Amino acid sequence: MKKISIDPVTRLEGHGKIDIFLDDQGRVTNCYFLVPELRGFEKFCEGRPVEELPRILTRICGVCPEAHHMASAKACDAVYHVEIPSTAKKLRELLYSIFFVADHTVHFYALGGPDFVVGPEAPVAERNVLGVIRKVGLEAGKKVIHTRSMAHEALTILGGKAIHPVTALPGGMAKGITEEERKKIEGYTKEMVEFGKFTLKVVEDVVLANKAYVDLILSDTYAHKTYSMGTVDQKNRVNFYDGKIRVVDTQGKEFVKFEAKDYLNVLAEHVEPWTYLKFPYLKQIGWKGFVDGQESGAYKATPLSRLNAADGMATPLAQAEYERFYKTLGGKPVHATLATHWARVIELLYAAERSLELAQDLEITSGNIRTIPTATPDEGVGCVEAPRGTLYHHYITDEKGIVQKVNLIVGTTNNHAAISMSIKKAAMGLIKKGTTITDGILNKIEMAFRAYDPCFACATHSLPGEMPLVVRILSPEGEVLDQVERF
Amino acid sequence: MSESERILVLGLGNPILSDDGVGIYITQAASFLFSHSQVTYQESSLAGFGFLDTISGFDRIIIADSINWQKNPPGTVIVLKTEDLKGQPYLRNFHNLSLAGTLTLADQMGVPRPKEIVIFAVEVKDCSTFSERCTPEVERAIPEVAQMIVEQLESWLGVEKGASVVEEVQHD
């Protein structure tokens, strides 16, 4: 058996990688997607006062501290059985929606977008954010930087700190905003809505206008029929901060809708011997291995899944785009993994519109931002939609609020089985007997998992920051027969 | 340097992952030793674009970070300067934009960024166990590097050695 390794850049020893196994004929037999193991998390949390967790768990991830901050604060609210005031909820959702604008912006322009805007076969040196800027114009680059900068400032006001937010705490928020700050944020969010519209125009002009790209998006190589998960409001519209979690089947029919606290009734986790990262699946269907379809409990929780799991968007411009999305791609649900990029941009517009609504809400400057918890703490689950999927924080404490047990299911973990399947399918479709592994092929395999925006930044940040991407072909004995380096 | 220039001392790393937090502990230690109106201390666990947001607008930066070269014994201090940073903004699969890549990106996009950069990095031993303390070998480097940062600041600001030492420090 031969082995191909796609070894993504990381700052860590024991980094994430993709191993593709070939048989003696050069055909793909299996793929393994591996991520680094971090040790001792439960132990680290146990014995701490639970109210420390919203502050400290923001450190789990260098990319989405806001998501962990919110899920953690909501779990603490549940632990203390406290209803937070309406203004506190709006402040949290405002913070969270602005964070979504910033995060989805980076993904589209810097991480996922280059494949489409510059092209999947473009040389690696051009297939990056600068290539995107060259293609769509320097003005676009300035808009990206400006949007990030506005979000950074708004998040500093709302989160109380430049980088890792600290303001959400059990019972509500530690600080509110003044009228002056509200006006500033309102101005920013107006610009963000325009930026969302602009980005959808980029999708239309550069991606949808190119038939080859649309064919690539809809090709079988990148399709998986799975269940879709996402949080919805009372009218079954997408919501990132709060609501019930809805799962629809491969036909788009509601399979289950549940409250966060009941997640263990719906989800179970499968364990494989080759990775420490678990594979969540729908308990009622069961784990059937790395297969898709109506009979497999594997599901996805991505921007695309959120759109599939909902009946629409709660803001007008995003709703119009939602309708266009399904009309263009042949109706609901959509199972084309690469369409996730487009879905993400529709979410970006929704997040911007929702931020503007909240910034214009008269109640947002009210001083009623916290209900002091008085009940005896015990157990609680907090859940939000992180950019990469549904995020669950589950805490159990003693009667003094000291943490006894913690369980997390993070965004990317939901998609672990689906990512593994997508890579395998893409590899099988692209690598045949006698195929020479080129940079383009390698990138097209990477595209299968890049669509999920998988994030392991919760690993560490040690220098040196870059390592070459290497594809190795090994003999059954482990001898390196061929090696392709990305740069 | 002129009085309008702003200096950022940035501690990078994750303070809940053992040695990965060393840059943050060093920055905290340096802030106890030296204070000046032109100097801002900040810490960050952010990668890539988040990093760009943080450094934009400063004229000079000192970065304290961990390094995982595995070429030296844990606790070894490595100093890197602007000219040592070479790289292209290749954006990889994950959210991993290197420091060099971030700076190149800033230049090409016309984003104001520090012109002078000094990095103090400490070779690590364990960055994958959740803990708020470094391993003993790495922990021993913290006061030494904090002092190196103070000397760099004194040199840039042209202040006398020890002139801006924080006299009374209250520790929790």
Q: Flag the least confident range among A260-274, A437-451, B112-126.
A: A437-451
Residues A297-317 have pLDDT tens digits of 999 999 999 999 999 999 999
B93/A449 CB distance under 8 A = yes
In terms of domains, do A95 and A163 share one? yes
Q: Is the dihedral of CA A450, A454, A458, A459 positive or negative?
A: negative
Contacts of A44 in chain B (CB under 8 A): 16, 130-131
Judge whether A210 lies within some domain: yes
| CATH at residue A206 | 1.10.645.10
Distance from CA of A406 to the nearest CA of B (A): 14
Distance from CA of A457 to the nearest CA of B (A): 7
- The answer to whether the bond into B15 is cis (omega within 30° of 0) is no
In terms of domains, do A147 and A18 share one? no
Judge whether A321 lies within some domain: no
Quote the domain boundaries for residue A187: 83-223+336-372
Domain boundary among A355, A372, A389: A372
User: What does the pLDDT average to over A226-247?
Assistant: 98
A106/B46 CB distance under 8 A = no
Q: Which residue has the higher pLDDT, B60 or B67?
A: B60
A460/B66 CB distance under 8 A = yes
**CB of A268 closer than 8 Å to CB of A280:** yes
User: Chain B residue closest to A42 (CA)?
Assistant: B130
In terms of domains, do A89 and A32 share one? no
Contacts of B16 in chain A (CB under 8 A): 44, 56, 59-60
For the whole model, what pTM was predicted? 0.86
Residues B117-133 have pLDDT tens digits of 898 989 889 887 888 99
In terms of domains, do A150 and A88 share one? yes
User: What does the pLDDT average to over A270-281?
Assistant: 83
Q: At what angle do helices A129-136 and B99-109 cross, to 10 degrees?
A: 10
Angstrom distance (rounded) from CA A219 to CA A357: 38
A40/B47 CB distance under 8 A = no
Q: Flag the least confident range among A197-201, A283-287, B75-79.
A: B75-79
A11/B49 CB distance under 8 A = no
In terms of domains, do A341 and A469 share one? no
pLDDT at A347: 98
Q: Where are the domains of chain B?
A: 7-157
In terms of domains, do A21 and A105 share one? no
Residues A43-68 have pLDDT tens digits of 889 999 999 999 988 877 666 889 99
In terms of domains, do A356 and A453 share one? no
ipTM over 0.90: no
Judge whether A436 lies within some domain: yes
Domain count, chain A: 2
The model's confidence at residue B92, banded by pLDDT at 50, 70 and 90, is very low
pLDDT at A297: 96
In terms of domains, do A145 and A11 share one? no
Which candidate in B22, B26, B45 is best for mutational testing of the A interface (most A CBs within 10 A)?
A: B45
User: What does the pLDDT average to over A372-386?
Assistant: 96
CA angle A321, A323, A325 (to 5 degrees): 65
**CB of B38 closer than 8 Å to CB of B7:** yes
Domain boundary among A347, A372, A397: A372
User: Chain A residue closest to B88 (CA)?
Assistant: A125
B95/A106 CB distance under 8 A = yes
Contacts of B131 in chain A (CB under 8 A): 40, 44
In terms of domains, do A92 and A219 share one? yes
pLDDT at A12: 29
User: What does the pLDDT average to over B7-28?
Assistant: 91
pLDDT at A481: 52
pLDDT at A11: 28
Please, which residues have CB within 8 angstroms of residue B36's CB and are 6 or more apart in sequence?
B7, B153, B157, B159, B164
The model's confidence at residue A129, banded by pLDDT at 50, 70 and 90, is confident
Contacts of A60 in chain B (CB under 8 A): 16
Q: Which residue has the higher pLDDT, A65 or A476?
A: A65
Q: Is A295 helix (H, G, I), strand (E, B) or coil?
A: coil
In terms of domains, do A28 and A168 share one? no
Angstrom distance (rounded) from CA A24 to CA A341: 36
Closest by CA to A313, choosing from A341, A353, A260, is: A353
Of B53, B88, B95, the CB nearest to A63: B95
Of A43, A125, A149, the CB nearest to B53: A149
In terms of domains, do A127 and A211 share one? yes
Which candidate in B12, B24, B42, B49 is best for mutational testing of the A interface (most A CBs within 10 A)?
A: B49
Q: What tokens does B90 get?
A: 């290749």
Q: How distant is the alpha carbon of residue A455 from its chain centre?
A: 7
> What fold, for B7-157?
Rossmann fold (3.40.50)
